[in-house]
Amino acid sequence: FDMMFDDIDSNLRELGVGDISVGKKVKKLAESFYGRIKAYEDGLAAADDEKLRSTLARTLFRDAAATDTALDAAVAYVRGQAAYLAAQNDDALLDGRVTFSSVETLIGEGVR
């Protein structure tokens, strides 16, 4: 997280954003980031898929019209990856040894 926002800060400066504006822009991006994290956590914690589904429709697909098939696949993928990550060894995660499941494993062949 810190490295990501340090990089964003550096890139904004390279793009010519003034020193006074950089902090405001980074703060806005951080608020958006934390808001999405909270929305994804709430969606994953919900008993049904509706909250996660609406969050993904709003954040992943934004202005694009998402089909039911695409939303179903996105929900299956996010839930599957969350479960896959939760099953990994904490020490491996802390050491930066993170693996992800394949898309095909989580949502099936032919769904893209």
d(CA 100, CA 82): 9
pLDDT of residue 109: 58
Task: Give pLDDT, residue 104.
Answer: 84
Instruction: Please report which confidence band the pLDDT of residue 88 belongs to, taking 50, 70 and 90 as the band edges.
Output: very high
Residue 77 CB burial class (10 angstroms; 0-12, 13-18, ≥19): middle
Cβ(103)–Cβ(77) below 8 Å = yes
Q: What's the CA gap between 97 and 88, in Å, rounded?
A: 10
Instruction: Please write the tens of the pLDDT for every residue from 93-102.
Output: 899 899 999 8
Q: What is the pLDDT of residues 12-48, one digit of tens each?
A: 999 988 888 988 988 998 999 999 999 999 999 999 9
Q: Are 44 and 84 in contact (CB under 8 A)?
A: no
| 59 — pLDDT class (breaks 50, 70, 90) | very high
32: exposed, middle or buried (C-beta count within 10 Å: 0-12, 13-18, 19+)?
exposed
Amino acid making up residue 32: S
Question: What's the pTM value of the predicted model, to 2 decimals?
Answer: 0.77
Read off the DSSP letter of residue 110: T
From 105, 28, 7, 112, select the one nearest 70 (Cα to Cα).
112
